[in-house]
Amino acid sequence: MALDCKYKHPLQHDGTNQLQRFQEALEPGNVPLHEFDLRDWMRFAWYYAGHVKYFSITDANNPHGDWQDFMKSGDEIEAWLKDAALVEDEGWISRDERERIMKREPQGDYQPHLALFLSFLKLMKFPKGQLNGFTKRHLDFYYTRVLQLGRQPALADRVHILFELAKNAALETVPSGALLDGGKDGNGKPLRYATEQELTVNTATVALMKSIYHKEGDTVRFAEMTNSSDGLGTEFKEENPCWNAFGNEEWPSATLGFALASSVLLMKEGTREVAVSLSLGFPDDSDLPSLKQYQAQLNVFLTGEKEWMAASLLKVTRVPLAAVDKLEFTVTVDSSQKGVVPYDPKIHLERLNTNLPVLRVLVNTDNPDGYMVYASLSRAVITEASITVKVTGAKDLAVENDQGRLDPSKPFYPFGPLPGKNSNFYVGSSEIFQKTWDYIDLNISWKDKPKSFYDLYESYLTGNFEGTRIVGSEQYFQVRPEYLRDNIWHPASAEGKTLDLFSTSPLEIKRDGADSADRVSPAVPPLLMKKGIDVNKALLQNYLKPPGQEEGASAAKKQVAISARFESARFDPGFTALETTTERFNPATKSGYIRLKLMQSFLHERYAPLLTLTMIEKSKSDSKHANAALPNEPYTPVIASITADYQATAWNSFVFDKSVTPKQKYDNFTARTIQLFHEHPFGQAEQHLFLKEQCDFIDPTESRSFSPVPVYSPEGEFYIGLKDAPPSGLLSLLFEAVEGSENPLAATFGRDQEIEWCALSNNEWKPLNKDYVTADDTNNLLRPGIVKVILPASINSSNTLLDSGFSWLKASLPQGLEHTSVCRLAGVMAQAVVAVFSDNGNELSHLSTALPAGSIGKLIDKPALIKKVTQLFASYGGATIEDDHAFYQRVSERLRHKQRGVNIWDYEHLVLQQFPSIHKVKCLSHTSTRKEDGSPDYFELAPGYVSLVVIPDIRNKNIFDPLQPRASQNLLGEIEDFIRPLNSLHVKFDAANPDYETVLLDFRVKFHDDYDANAYRKVLNDDIVRYLSPWAFGEFSDIHFGGKLFKSILIRFIEERAYVDFISHFKMFHRIGQGDVNVIDRNEIVAGSARAILVSAPLHTIELIEKDKVCNE
């Protein structure tokens, strides 16, 4: 069956609406047996009186006259009856009118015989009514006694009731059948409503509502307060607002990303460069952004002293490898900027569970490039991360020598005033030595350093005046660098080599080749990297031991102890606070220092003896050394200033295969040097497989991975924050959905699809299956109703992903649905129950108008701990007893179609009777609207198919698009379920919405000078829309299928507007379905199919003709 089939349905008709069901001929009073009224009887009496003769006494053979003089003539009857009625009902006329009538005809002119005759005629209404009621009595007898058909009974209305506990109360039970006071009926009798089910009222209340709207391929939006007009808390302007729980195009775009916390980021001063490398596994078909896009969209921030400090992004590179890609980016912090300090929630105002410095990488999804960067990261799997920092010009150093602490702000003697061999100079830094440093360069500026040590020490020979020079070169003075770790000094140069103390290059301190041992291995983490970790392994015995090793009660007790350590997302992250000051060096110091051990003295011990000897020799005239030069005073090293440059690295793995044991995962977690956090719009959550596996609903035997950024289900997620929610408690949530507000064109729920519910436990979402979601009468939020959820025992209120202090539920749409696939909501409340009207002989008018909100405010027998009873919304679902008109109409239709769908008339009237919310239906025989798989395929010559096109009643309804009213998919499904048992098994039936074909106008207009052109352009557009689609403005107007529209009619309509001077360049376009507008200007538009309806476009193209461009010729 082709979509472009040109065969047209041969039977053209407009369908049937609710009003057309009424057949006046079927009304019992349509043809009364006795039709005479007062005027007819008076007129009959006057004519009859003309035939009644009277004779005089003198002439008994010839009529003397007739009785018409005793009656009113035909012309006088109307006026006489009017005056008689007014005088009779003088309480309803004015005093002046009554006096006027009396003056016109003198009082007493109403002769007694006419008054008596009028009274007699008025009494005739009783036998007349009895006679005319014969048709109705016979119809009632036939329908009710012969056919045994009865009127449909009244339907009790239902209402949602909310309960609130008294202060300090924890639980209270409202039993099934508990009576509520609904006020009084029209006769003053109490209205009573009874609870339908038992409700255990607890302390949980709905305190917060947040949402994520992920429009795949476009953007991610968020709502900090879902029930607000802009998602940020702005109140609605409407009187009865409603909102979409899963998305809104007006919500702000989300800023997403990740954060890395590590001690390596502690950088107080200097020029700082941070290089981050992420090993990412991208899908093979992933469309990756360019490096330029990455660089433009990544925003990097570091924890500053008073706020988040922006860092400059220098470059971004991507290195493709065999299994993964390395995404590397480098940022810098200028020396003029403040230090990078540990995270402080009071300063940085986030929910990061760490006390380490933090680097945040954020991406704003409000533009295509930003979303593309986020989307690429969300599809990737992070396997490892490394952070390398390079700091130049660190001045905050602790310096000491063998005599004690020195002041680096002034010139000082690094080896003391008399530096000898093995003298030591100590340099410490809390910033550097609590990191895994790669190298340290000491930049030393020497005070009064001689230009040449070779010349300075010319007189210092191995002998007194003979021998070789002791200082044989400028590199004579050497130091051996060492660093302290675990109270042991380790060589800090390759093979223990010494360094030239006075080298023009910085003194480079390196590790002893043990760098690789300091990396975090998934199997055996080094002890060095456990510095500061405080995790009690005894609490995780069961986790670390192989399955089956623990049995019985002892195993159960240990399992409790295990979970106690990690019972919330705010457990101790395992890091002690970073040191910001360096402790003084002493024998107990275990780390934090390097030392330079002087390998030679500066010959101060030789200076005094050599000077004395030289002076003695110079005093001897016969000494061969009489001309020897006096020795120069040895140089005493004085450091004018000292700074350090260093590089440090942190590295961590995040992915494990199935061969990795639980103990190895645990060791990796406790030894981690980098914390990875997902940056959500509402908070942050650390990501590590060990943390995930502490949740009982995550299988630790499966190989698991995660992306570097948070991932959201397509379309929408709705978060409900519960205050004081008891774990394992039953929660009854009322969702007040606004029926008809969903988008009928959006995809709907399949037979196996439903809204997915989760509960937040330790920053992980626990899926809630049917064991937890015990009831849902909202039909996936397509109607108002109550969802009952048993909160899992693991739910807690100390998460960092969302606001702490609240327990969180999440509702998410299944794959393939849109955020408009469900109804908008008017409210979400806890502690709700359904109450049903209990008829105790009441007057039932409220069933047709609904019980107003606020009518119910108390229980008849109030439980002690119930503080408040609230009815926020009007009742629903009520109906009065079927009246005569509806009864006769239903039965007459029933007698014709016999509750079977055979011909067009049958289908249309069956649906209109069963679904009062349908305004109009059109049955299309041998017509299909979709294939077997549900995909659209409109074909008007399909034997064996029957389609029913329906138009809902939009009066006083919250409709998604009033210009193109469509029935919801839920309603279409109900129609199909209703019809299928009533028609032939050989018929394939489906219900569908009309095809709305849009008429779009494009023209220029000149308004009269008295009218504001900009304002009346909108008025003209509204008038055109109202003319073409009057039903969208609340006016009662039928909607017709098919039809033609002529351009000339629209031109005439526009030119007849009082504010329009003239129009020009008038074009009329035709758009079929949701496709593009056909650019061909048409003089006539004809509906394209039997299910098509011509409607106005919401906005027409109207250009203004400026006054100075009007041709006056």
Which residue, among 337, 274, 335, 276, has the nearest Cα to 304 in the 3D structure?
337
Does the structure show a pLDDT above 60 at 108? no
Give the chain's length. Answer: 1113
Fill in the amino acid letter for 975: I
User: Would you say 213 and 250 are in contact if contact means Cβ atoms under 8 Å apart?
Assistant: no
Which residue, among 458, 502, 456, 496, has the nearest Cα to 476 in the 3D structure?
502
Helix axes 112-123, 38-51, angle to 10 degrees: 130
Q: Which pLDDT score, from 0 to 100, does residue 665 have? A: 81
H/E segment holding residue 726: none
Q: Which has the minimum average pLDDT: 243-247, 287-291, 776-780?
A: 287-291
User: Would you say 921 and 907 are in contact if contact means Cβ atoms under 8 Å apart?
Assistant: yes
The pair of three-digit structure tokens given for residue 99, joined into one six-digit string: 């006096």
User: Would you say 954 and 1031 are in contact if contact means Cβ atoms under 8 Å apart?
Assistant: yes
Q: Where are the beta strands (DSSP E) in 76-157?
A: none
Q: Which has the minimum average pLDDT: 227-241, 412-426, 1000-1014?
A: 227-241
Q: Which residues, in sequence order, are bridge partners of residue 326? A: 279, 319
Cα 587 from Cα 402, distance rounded (Å) = 12
Evaluate if pTM is beyond 0.85: no
Tokens 């490898």 belong to which residue?
321
Q: Which has the minimum average pLDDT: 282-291, 388-397, 584-593, 818-827?
A: 584-593
Q: Which pLDDT score, from 0 to 100, does residue 537 have? A: 36
User: Would you say 26 and 888 are in contact if contact means Cβ atoms under 8 Å apart?
Assistant: yes
Q: Which pLDDT score, from 0 to 100, does residue 678 have? A: 95
Q: Which pLDDT score, from 0 to 100, does residue 1031 have? A: 87
DSSP class of 578: P
Cα 154 from Cα 131, distance rounded (Å) = 31
Burial 430-439 (b: 16+ CB within 10 A, else e): bbbbbbbbbb
The pair of three-digit structure tokens given for residue 1073, joined into one six-digit string: 């379905």
Q: Where are the beta strands (DSSP E) in 166-307?
A: 172-174, 179-184, 190-195, 199-201, 205-215, 219-223, 255-261, 271-281, 299-303
Cα 713 from Cα 378, distance rounded (Å) = 11
Q: What is the mean pLDDT of the chain?
A: 84
Query: What is the per-residue pLDDT across 142-200, written as a single tens digit (0 to 9) for each?
Result: 999 999 999 989 999 999 999 999 998 999 999 999 999 999 988 999 999 999 999 99
- DSSP output for 921-961: EEEEET-EEE-TTS-EEEES--TTEEEEEEEE--TT---S-
Does the structure show a pLDDT above 90 at 47? no
- Give the torsion through C-alpha atoms of 880, 881, 884, 886, to 10 deg: 60
Cα 507 from Cα 523, distance rounded (Å) = 36
Give the residue with greater pLDDT, 279 vs 1110.
279
| Residues whose CB is less than 8 angstroms from the CB of residue 806 and which lie 6 or more positions away in sequence, other chains included | 207, 208, 721, 722, 723, 725, 797
Does the structure show a pLDDT above 70 at 613? yes
DSSP class of 145: I
Q: Which has the minimum average pLDDT: 98-102, 300-304, 952-956?
A: 98-102
Cα 479 from Cα 1113, distance rounded (Å) = 104
Which residue, among 826, 831, 893, 815, has the nearest Cα to 853 in the 3D structure?
826
Does the structure show a pLDDT above 60 at 823? yes
**Residue 55 — pLDDT band, cuts 50, 70, 90?**
confident
Which residue, among 965, 1027, 970, 1031, has the nearest Cα to 996 in the 3D structure?
965
Q: Please, how many CA atoms are within 13 Å of residue 628, restricted to the half-sphere of its CB?
A: 27
CB atoms within 10 A of CB 15: 25
| Residues whose CB is less than 8 angstroms from the CB of residue 740 and which lie 6 or more positions away in sequence, other chains included | 823, 952, 957, 958, 959, 960, 968
